[in-house]
Structure 1
C-alpha cells in the first residue's frame, strides 16, 4: 500500500508542475483534465501525509520507551501510543478505501430513464411513483432533474419518462438504481382488494460527450414534430420536438422539453450517445465474463434489484439483502441509506477481489 501511495504522491507533485506550464494553461481541455486529476490526487495525498505524521510520532514514542529511563517520560510515551495506534488503524482503512479505483464516469451528468414493465396501468402508475421518488431525492440532495421526454399512462403515471440529472456526482450517486423495481400492493383499479405485483425498469446512464462516443450523423435520421408537453404557446404549433433514429442499432430517442428545436436536438443526441455507450458496455461485460461483473453495480436493466411491499411497509434491496420498514419515507425520496449500503458493498467487493493490498 505504501508503494502505491508514494507513486500517487509523486504523480501529484508532477501534475502540480504541469498545471502551471504555459502550454497547459493555453489548452483549456488539457488544463481541465489536469485540474481534475490534481484535485482527485490531493484528497489521497493529504490523508497520506497525515498518516506518515502519525507513523513518525509512533516511531518517536517507541524510541522513548526503548531508551528513556525517566518513568514520567515513559508514561507519557505510553499514553501517546495508546492514542496513536487506533488512529493509525483507522487511517489505514481510510487509505485502502481511497485507493480503490473510482469509476471515471461518477462525476458525469446522468440520464435517468423509467419505463413501465409488467402490470399494465398499475405498472405505469408505479413508474410515476418512482419518478416522484427520484425527483424528491434530487431536491433534497442539491441535484437538478430535468424531464426530456415522457409518455403518460392511460390511468396516470408514465409508460416512459426520460430525464437528465445534473449537480455533484449525479451518475456516481444514482448508478446503483439501474434494474427492475417491483411493487406489491392493491392497485387503484382492484375491486377485490387483492395484492398485485407490478414492475418498472430504471436505467441510469452516464452522459457521454462526442469525444467519448462518436456517432456518424449519416447513420442518424432526424424527425421533427409538435411538442405535447409543457412549453407555453409553442406547444402543438411549432415543430420543435426532435426524434432521432440510429440506423445501426435501431435506437430511437425523442426530446421535447425545450421550445428550441436546436436545443432539443442537442439533448436528444446526448441521450443517444449514452444509450450507444450502454450497448457497448453490455457487449464488453459479456466478453469479460459474468465472474468479473460486480454484483452491486452491473447496471443490467433486466436484473430485479428492489421490491416495494406496501402491505408490510417494507423496501428490500435484493442485491445486498437490505430492508427498511419505512416505505412512505422511501417513496418521498429517502433512499440515501440504500445508496450508501450499496457503495459499501461495492467497495468490499473490490477489496475482496484484490484491488487494494
Structure 2
C-alpha cells in the first residue's frame, strides 16, 4: 500500500509532466506563429488568407495557455481539497425574518450539495416560531466540499419585505455563516490539535423550548477547550455517548480551522487578498429581493435573477467566481514574491 508521501511524490511528478508538456506546446506554437506570419506577405491571396486564419487559431492557443493552463499548473495544489465541510449558520439582526432567511439559505446549500453529489446531514438545529431556524450545524460530506464552501464564511445580508409587514416596508436581516474543515466523528482525538487535559467536560439534561428539561437522563454534553475558551454544546442526539462524539467532532473542526487559518496567515504574511475568509464578521453578500439581485461585495460581482440563486443552481456561479479570484490572488502573490527574490539577488 502506498504511503501518503509516495502519493504526494507521484502527484508532484504528474504535475511537473503536465507543466513540461504545456511549456513545449507554448514554444512550438510560438515557432509556428512566427513561421506563419511570414506567409502574410505571400503574393498568393489564398495563401495569405490561410495564414491569417492559422494565426488566429495559434493566437487562441497561446492565449488559452497564458490565461488558464499555466496559472492552474503553477498554483500549488490545495492541501485541503479532500476535506468535507462543517457549516454553522446563526441568525443575526432581524429577529424572525433572519430565522426565515436562514431556513431559505439552508435549503439553498442542501440543493447545492445535491447538485454536486455531496451528502448533506443536519447535525443540530434550533427551530424558531413561524417556520424559521435560529441556528443550525450541517455536515457536507464529499471531496472538495470544504474548499468550495469555505468562502461562504461571513455575514449574509437579506433585504426584503417580510410576509408579516403590513406597510410593505423593506427590512434588512442577516445570517452569519462559519465553514469549518470537517473532522471525522470519533471517540479518539487528534493529539496534534488538543490534549484531553485541556478539555472541561460537563453533562446535563437536555433542554427544550422555554428551558424545560425534555428527558430524565443527563444526555446533553458541553465541552470547553480551556486554552482557547472554545465551547461546544450538543443535545440533539439521544444518548450522552452520541452527543459526546458529536461535540468532539465540532470542537476538533473548530480547532482545525484555527490551525489552517493561522498557517495560511503565516505563509502569506502581508498577502493582500480581497477574499480573506478568516474575517467572519465581514459582510460578504447581499440578497436584495426588491431589485432581484445578489451581490458579492468581496469580488464586486452582481447577478440578476435572485430566484436562480435561492431556488436553482445560481449559487454555484458565485462559488466558482470567488474560487477563481482566490486562485488569481495566489498566483499574483507568487509572482510578486519571485520578483522580490530576484530583485534581492541583484
Q: Same fold (TM over 0.5)?
A: yes
User: Could you list the per-position Cα deviations for residues 209-255 of structure 1 after superposition, in whole angstroms to 9, with x for gaps in the alignment?
Assistant: 755842121222333456689xxxxx947655533222222222234
**Unmatched segments (≥5 aa) in structure 2:** 209-213, 339-346
Alignment correspondent of 2:78 = 103
Distance 1:211 1:95, change over 3 A: farther
Q: Is the 8 A contact 1:135 1:333 kept in 2?
A: no
CA deviation after TM superposition for structure 1 residue 337, in Å = 0.5
Alignment correspondent of 1:34 = 6
Give SS of 2:97's match: helix
Q: Is the 8 A contact 1:148 1:164 kept in 2?
A: yes
Whole-Å separation in 2 of the counterparts to 1:192 and 1:243: 44
Alignment correspondent of 2:151 = 176
Alignment correspondent of 1:325 = 304
CA deviation after TM superposition for structure 1 residue 137, in Å = 0.9
Aligned partner (choices 286, 293, 302) of residue 307 of structure 1 = 286
Alignment correspondent of 1:276 = 255
User: Could you list the per-position Cα deviations for residues 151-203 of structure 1 after superposition, in whole angstroms to 9, with x for gaps in the alignment?
Assistant: 22234322211111111201111111010000111123323221111111011
Is 1:186 aligned with 2:161?
yes
CA root-mean-square deviation = 3.6
Alignment correspondent of 2:316 = 336
Whole-Å separation in 1 of the counterparts to 2:264 and 2:4: 30
Moved more, 301-310 or 159-168: 159-168
Whole-Å separation in 2 of the counterparts to 1:293 and 1:154: 43
Q: Is the 8 A contact 2:287 2:306 kept in 1?
A: yes
Whole-Å separation in 1 of the counterparts to 2:30 and 2:267: 45
Distance 1:285 1:303, change over 3 A: farther
Give SS of 2:278's match: coil
What is the TM-score with the length of structure 1 in the denominator?
0.75
Give SS of 1:192's match: coil
